[in-house]
């Protein structure tokens, strides 16, 4: 499910900004995923 959420978020950001997915920066993708509650790093 994590991969699907990430793919959907990236696609949505690209559509909203009217750009290709490769034109999005890692930082804006990361910020949106964190805002949506996505876990990006495992905690030991």
Q: pLDDT by residue (tens digit) across 7-36? A: 999 999 999 999 999 999 999 999 999 999
Cα 20 to Cα 44: distance, rounded to the nearest angstrom: 35
Cα 33 to Cα 39: distance, rounded to the nearest angstrom: 8
Q: Kindly report whether the global pTM for this prediction surpasses the value 0.85.
A: no
* Contacting residues for 19 by C-beta, under 8 A, at least 6 apart: none
């Amino acid at each position: 499910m994590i991969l699907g959420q990430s793919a959907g978020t990236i696609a949505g950001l690209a559509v909203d900004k009217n750009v290709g997915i490769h034109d999005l920066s890692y930082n804006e993708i990361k910020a949106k995923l964190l805002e949506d509650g996505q876990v990006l790093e495992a905690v030991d």
